[in-house]
Amino acid sequence: MTRDVARWGRAGALYDLVASAAFLTPWTAAGMLSLFGTPTSDPMTLLFATLFGTVVVMWSIARWRRPEPLLIGIDTAGRALFSLWFVWALWHGQTHVLAVFLVLELFWGAAQLRALVRR
């Protein structure tokens, strides 16, 4: 049902908003990255972290406001790609904390895909 797509789409958007809001500014992003053991003295690292935070927060707001099947489908594909990049980073020895984010991406991707297929 389209209502399930909207419900899961909004829930995923809320998760993304909460998980990404700390990356909106260089100062908050530096704090978050330091929790993962990532050096934050490089302005380029902070630039890309804040670009990520800004785009994900804006995309979350768009999906919250308009949880249409097309947007949720695009987001589901994006979650598959994010999951792939988490696996890549873990494969290359990055912090195991990323596994938590990987599991959450897989969960939200599967929930949204299920709702999309069932509509």
pLDDT in tens, 34-87: 988 888 889 999 999 999 999 999 999 999 999 999 999 999 999 999 999 999
Residues belonging to the chain: 119
Confidence bin at 2 (pLDDT 50/70/90): confident
Instruction: Report pLDDT for 106.
Output: 98
pLDDT in tens, 12-31: 999 999 999 999 999 999 99
Alpha carbons 99 and 4: distance in angstroms, whole number: 27
Count of alpha carbons within 13 Å of 18, Cβ hemisphere only? 8
- CB neighbours of 95 closer than 8 A, spacing ≥ 6? 36, 37
pLDDT higher than 70, residue 101 = yes
Alpha carbons 96 and 101: distance in angstroms, whole number: 10
The two tokens of residue 119 are: 């509509």
Helices 26-35, 43-65: crossing angle, 10 deg rounding: 100
What are the sequence ranges of the domains in the chain? 2-118
